[in-house]
Amino acid sequence: MTDVRIDEAVDGLASFFADRQTRAGVVARRLLGIAHRDDDRLAKHLIRERRSKTRLDGSFDGSLRATAWSAWELLHLGCSKGHAGLDRMVGFLVSRQDQPGRFGEGCSERRHAIANCKHFMSGFFSPGSRDELIAPMLLPTRAVIVSEIAARFAVSCFALRSVLYAREERRDAVHRHIESLLTLSERWRDRETEFPNTVDVVFCALGALGLAPPEYGEGVNRLTTRIGEMQNAEGVWEDTSIFHALDGMHTLRSPAAREVIGRAMPRLLQMQRPNGTFDESEDEQLALIALRALRTQAVTRSAPQPSKKLHPTAARERQR
């Protein structure tokens, strides 16, 4: 893998996103420093569109998953704490912490023995009553979480990621969620967590943990190292897609994380199509995930930087 090949891949993505009048198009152009003069207007339109679909409680149809994703979209379109629409969504999310139906509630002798019960798991977001199944659950990365317990875990991580990116890390329940993830992460390797989709949910957790306050860095780094040990000879993972893995890791900025992502780059580059995309459907989210991963690799080298000033949203992501 050479710097030239990475630059060529980024150029292909720049061409693909050049005229996309979509949320992913706006975010990608801002990351690349090639934003159109109409992108701010388009972003405002997309923000209004998403706000118009929320309920009075700030949710999307009462769905934890849909609300967490919409908050994530608003944050990357340029909203920040204090924006009325975003604050309402985040307010709905945090209102779901420690509520019935969350991952980790209840206890049994077996679950207590593996630190997977209410005595160890705290701060998780509830998607609702257990009478209303949420699995199988399709994530924006195209990963499918098939078991109910894993889906409730994954959607809570999804919500935590948005809440942390919205800078609500001072909440006690948020800290308890982070600490619970790190406690559970010590047991993932022995496969005793009752998750059929172990690797998928680990990357869901990493996506949130990468945004955790600095005091949790040591625990996050240990989990990152374990994930790296699970890569195969091609730099990918047997039980999950490369895009779900890279999406989970793009919030991490440690040298160990960059090394793990770097080992996945040859396979990612092989997958790129002539038009810059990575699948026949030209999925924009997968292309955006790839762009972020390629950008992560540029951190450790002297890659040519865009001549235009980065949008504040892109600058914030680059500074983390």
Q: What is the structure's pLDDT at 191?
A: 52
User: Does the pLDDT at position 253 exceed 70?
Assistant: yes
Return the pLDDT at 198.
Answer: 78
- Given this model, what pLDDT does residue 117 score? 87
The pLDDT mean for the chain works out to 90
* pLDDT at residue 185 tops 50: yes
pLDDT band, residue 306 (cuts 50/70/90): very low
Check residue 311 and give its pLDDT: 62
pLDDT digits (tens, 9 = 90+) for 34-80: 989 999 999 999 999 999 999 999 999 999 999 999 999 999 999 99
Q: Which residue has the higher pLDDT, 16 or 238?
A: 16
Domains recognised in the chain with CATH numbers: 3-319 (1.50.10.20)
pLDDT reported for residue 184: 86
Q: Sorting pLDDT into bands at 50, 70 and 90, what band is 267?
A: very high
Across the chain, which distance is largest between two alpha carbons, in Å?
Answer: 61
Which of 171 and 112 is assigned the larger pLDDT?
171
Asked whether the beta carbons of 199 and 237 are under 8 A apart, the reply is yes
Express each pLDDT in 115-154 by its tens digit. 788 999 999 999 999 999 999 999 999 999 999 999 999 9
Statement: residue 298 has pLDDT above 80: no
